[in-house]
Structure 1
């Protein structure tokens, strides 16, 4: 059991003889393990505080939730480094995590011990990002490693409570795509014709198969499999973690070797064949059969493609981004009655919820179907009155 005493009363040389001397009170207890457990002590200004701490430590031991106080004394900076070194993450993710830590987390909390971090401290990190002008959606992404690093501290018995619980983030705007960002068929064709012929197929792959721009840049002849298109990699200029700035990397949200397949329209298959016949294939960064490369013979990425894209937009008087061509694909599929689940799978979204939040409002006739469903459900109870002037009646009247 924990023992509470005043050290001033127990010292051999000149012990304190006052009943209420005002000296601190010390509580002494052992860590789990009985007599073999490490002996600890902590001092408090009053006897009541010392006894309360001792009782808590004993209760924690009985409940099996006791934590070594020293384990929480590691700084946020040191714990971040230890946690990050244990993660298996992609180079792009590592870059994003490191940028978040260097710009926001460590300057704000780096010197504090993880045990001393409070919910207010966590909220301050969010406020710093908000003051820096980051979008709400970006902040929501940046706090992912923040939550993970403190959850790991709890899981590794460094701290008892997660200070990130209850974190409040800036309200994000709706994810629903603005119909004005969806190019028309005529505009898609115009964009393709305005680009150099060697990059025209990128437009067709993004608009006709729903590929992300970076996925279209990494296209190769083995992706074309009859009436199916298999996408299994993308290009990046953020580096692959092995010293290569421009590289071929796995798909977003997927592990190396994963892929997704998309139904391929006949016309798109013919465009792939035409492109290969006219422009051949390329062997770059250890891969062969690539359909695209830069004029200088390097891997095609956003960086080099956007030069030609911007020129096309200026010539056409448009302001679309390459990613907007994916909106054309999604809206076309939904208008044809393809299920949201299939569209989500073909787009490569992490979950169908992302697809629903982005494109759910584009499902054709959904409003009319909703009206019809409610009308049919309530028909036995209500009937619409149509035989009297509108100013003399309500919309609905209870049926007899």
Structure 2
């Protein structure tokens, strides 16, 4: 603990004001200097909307597991500020924020033990990944041809980029000669502003190959951007970002998701989320013969086991097609003998 923090907490105790959860949590967040902007915004939201209203009055040293359990029951039972209930996934993120804060308090000697570590949340099954078929995705692309984010949606569905990775893509990350793009950063929306930072994990930094048609589309997209900038600022130059709004500014990731939802609804397509274009990319890739390792690296997963877990529902189809390809190599075009085994 920093000396200034220790003095402040000791002074509070001496003045008869025990350190409360409501005093500690904001100070803890302020001291977290290495957080990604999106993570900081998430922690701040959890603290402001849930932890302070329910636990802020409790002296930190007296916080018990039953306080926390009652808080989760109340959160699950009432949610006045949102249109729908807090999901199990969000509840787990709230719990992770509190657990992290109390771990720091335990290391500083402010609590004897981390009360949150003694609370178990019900495990929720991972929802099955939704995806379009290749035909459904192709139809979507045909229907939105000419829409400003058309090429962005194409990259998300063809190459499996995350929304933030596509929004953050710069022309310096695009190599049309080699036909590949380099993923080195991501974009998030924080308090209505688009903020850039590194991908969510080190495995997210990667090079993704693009096909010749997509490479040609990127080329023509760059030509249109030059003309647009000539008309807007008088100079036919590329913007720093591959995808911008009509004023040349970075796209808001939240807008991209909402615009996708509007397009899907407008054209009467099977309702999926924008993130499901990433699942669509993986599903089409696996079904067309890509190996699990290739898909895992293309998506930037931390390990192949993550990919296998998410796309286990595709595994039987992939295994069957792999078996047929192996059989074609072994048997040749003539096919296997029709003789009964053992005859």
Instruction: For residue 350 of structure 1, report the CA deviation from its aligned partner.
Output: 4.6
* Structure 1 partner of 2:107: 155
Q: Quick one: which of 265, 270, 284 aligns to 1:314?
A: 265
Q: Quick one: which of 200, 204, 219 aligns to 1:273?
A: 219
Structure with bigger RCO (C-alpha 8 Å, 6+ apart): 2
Q: Quick one: which of 327, 340, 353 aligns to 2:292?
A: 340
Deviations 1:9-53 (A, max 9, x none): xxxxxxxxxxxxxxxxxxxxxxxxxxxxxxxxxxxxxxxxxxxxx
* Structure 2 partner of 1:192: 141
* Structure 2 partner of 1:24: none
Aligned to 1:363, the other structure's residue is in SS state helix
CA–CA distance in structure 2, aligned partners of residues 250 and 267 of structure 1: 29
CA–CA distance in structure 2, aligned partners of residues 302 and 336 of structure 1: 30
Q: Quick one: which of 35, 38, 49 aligns to 1:92?
A: 38
Most deviating of 130-139 and 218-227: 218-227
2:277 matched to 1:325? yes
Instruction: For residue 335 of structure 1, report the CA deviation from its aligned partner.
Output: 2.4
* Structure 1 partner of 2:132: 183
Q: Quick one: which of 24, 29, 45 aligns to 1:79?
A: 24
Instruction: Name structure 2 gaps, 5 residues minimum.
Output: 1-12, 80-84, 231-237, 322-343
State the TM-score, normalized to the length of structure 2.
Answer: 0.74
Contact kept, 8 Å, 1:231 with 1:261, in 2: the verdict is yes
Most deviating of 320-329 and 229-238: 229-238
Residues 247 and 141 from structure 1, CA distance in 2 versus in 1: closer, same or farther, beyond 3 angstroms? same
Deviations 1:106-160 (A, max 9, x none): 1111121221011111212222332232111111122111100111111112222
CA–CA distance in structure 2, aligned partners of residues 363 and 303 of structure 1: 32
Contact kept, 8 Å, 1:104 with 1:128, in 2: the verdict is no
CA–CA distance in structure 2, aligned partners of residues 104 and 366 of structure 1: 44
Q: Quick one: which of 83, 92, 101 aligns to 1:140?
A: 92
Contact kept, 8 Å, 1:233 with 1:251, in 2: the verdict is yes
Residues 334 and 166 from structure 1, CA distance in 2 versus in 1: closer, same or farther, beyond 3 angstroms? farther
Q: How do 1:13-28 residues align onto structure 2 when only pairs under 5 Å count?
A: none
Contact kept, 8 Å, 1:153 with 1:159, in 2: the verdict is yes
Compare the two structures and name the one with the higher helix fraction: 2
Q: Quick one: which of 225, 240, 259 aligns to 1:289?
A: 240
Query: For the pair shown, which has the larger CA radius of gyration, 1 or 2?
Result: 1
CA–CA distance in structure 2, aligned partners of residues 296 and 305 of structure 1: 16
Instruction: For residue 303 of structure 1, report the CA deviation from its aligned partner.
Output: 4.0
* Structure 2 partner of 1:249: 196
Instruction: Name structure 1 gaps, 5 residues minimum.
Output: 1-69, 240-244, 370-400
Instruction: For residue 282 of structure 1, report the CA deviation from its aligned partner.
Output: 6.6
* Structure 1 partner of 2:10: none
Contact kept, 8 Å, 1:150 with 1:162, in 2: the verdict is yes
Residues 112 and 353 from structure 1, CA distance in 2 versus in 1: closer, same or farther, beyond 3 angstroms? farther
Instruction: For residue 330 of structure 1, report the CA deviation from its aligned partner.
Output: 0.8
State the TM-score, normalized to the length of structure 1.
Answer: 0.64
Residues 366 and 330 from structure 1, CA distance in 2 versus in 1: closer, same or farther, beyond 3 angstroms? closer
Compare the two structures and name the one with the higher strand fraction: 1
Contact kept, 8 Å, 2:19 with 2:59, in 1: the verdict is yes
Aligned to 1:207, the other structure's residue is in SS state helix
Query: What RMSD, in angstroms, separates the aligned Cα atoms of the two structures?
Result: 3.0
Instruction: For residue 352 of structure 1, report the CA deviation from its aligned partner.
Output: 4.4
Contact kept, 8 Å, 1:330 with 1:343, in 2: the verdict is yes
Q: Quick one: which of 24, 28, 51 aligns to 1:105?
A: 51
CA–CA distance in structure 2, aligned partners of residues 142 and 104 of structure 1: 8
CA–CA distance in structure 1, aligned partners of residues 37 and 93 of structure 2: 16
